[in-house]
Amino acid sequence: METVFNYPVRVYYQDTDTGGVVYHASYLNFMERARYEWLRELGFGVDAMIQSHRTIFLIRSLNIEYFKPAVLDDLLNVTVQVAEVGRSRIALRQQVMREQGTLVSAMVHVVCVGMDTFKPTGLPLPLRQKIGKPS
Q: Which amino acid is at 100?
A: Q
Q: Which amino acid is at 67?
A: F
Output phi, psi for 50, to 5 deg. -70, -50
3 state DSSP class of 4? coil
Q: List the catalytic residue out of 17, 47, 74, 116.
A: 17
3 state DSSP class of 66? strand
Q: Where are the beta strands (DSSP E) in 1-135?
A: 5-10, 55-66, 75-85, 89-98, 101-114
3 state DSSP class of 134? coil
Assess whether 74 carries a catalytic annotation. Answer: no
Provide the annotated active-site residues. Answer: 17
